[in-house]
Amino acid sequence: MEFIKVKIDEYIATISFNRPPANALSSVVLKELTSLLDEIESDDAVRVLVIHGEGRFFSAGADIKEFTTINSGEEFSELARKGQALFERMERFSKPIIASIHGAALGGGLELAMACHFRLVSENAKLGLPELQLGLIPGFAGTVRLPRYVGVARAAQMLWTSEPISGITAVRYGLANQAYPEENLHEETLKMARKIAQKSPVSIKATIELLNSMKNEQYDSTVNREAVLFGEMFISEDGQEGISAFIEKRQPTFKGK
């Protein structure tokens, strides 16, 4: 694979994003992750997955430059649905997936992390959904998952200010399970993974199914509405201005259109 590394040891598959400088989630990266999940699901040598990013980032989110190759709101909505389907698969995956987050997990990077079964973070990690800064909204079910973890009021603050929170605050909010000094994060994650790998794979699979049954009937319709609005934001004047400003490294000027 071009942008993902995999290491399997003691029933643990460590999946590393390796797309400098920020491990942006391009369509190629998401395809590689999909293919990898296919392989791991049928591999009895793997009982737990750990996902982390090489370098200074977990993932800084979607590849914004790739957005400029999309020509319509419908295409943008379809992109959102593909990402939603992949992350839904991760949440329902038959083997536990742990996100091990150092550096920044922003936008699509945080949406991916929220689709993992739980999150361990470095104390100084930065977690956020800054899409409104670009005149857009999260499109990979971020508007649905974030309030499930932190509550509606805190989700609103994170979305509307576009300001990330630290790893320590993420634990306090319920977005992450535990925070560690960055130099200890990897080993502490592996310790947790080893504990889980000792459990019965059949029992683990059953608990994943039961935990996912807690989603209410509105979940699917809300996620679909997010995809529709994701496309509408893309073709809006503000959305186009936000993307252009990001690429040109300047502050956007939004007109409310």
Res 67 pLDDT > 90: no
The structure's pTM equals: 0.93
Q: Quick check: is 111 catalytic?
A: yes
Does residue 22 contact residue 57 with C-beta atoms inside 8 Å?
Answer: yes
When pLDDT is averaged across residues 135-140 and rounded to a whole number, the result is 94
- pLDDT attached to residue 1: 86
Q: Is 201 part of a structural domain of the chain?
A: no
Q: Is 189 part of a structural domain of the chain?
A: no
CA dist list (Å): 191 to 195, 197, 198? 6, 10, 11
Q: Is 23 part of a structural domain of the chain?
A: yes
> Which one is catalytic: 131, 163, 187, 188?
131
> What residues form DSSP beta bridges with 105?
59, 127
Alpha carbons 224 and 142: distance in angstroms, whole number: 12
Alpha carbons 235 and 74: distance in angstroms, whole number: 9
pLDDT digits 0-9 by tens, 4-55:
999 999 999 999 999 999 999 999 999 999 999 999 999 999 999 999 999 9
Does residue 60 contact residue 109 with C-beta atoms inside 8 Å?
Answer: yes
Q: How many domains does the chain have?
A: 1
Alpha carbons 102 and 255: distance in angstroms, whole number: 36
> Which one is catalytic: 78, 111, 237, 248?
111
* Full domain range(s) for residue 129: 4-184
Q: Tell me the CATH number at 44.
A: 3.90.226.10
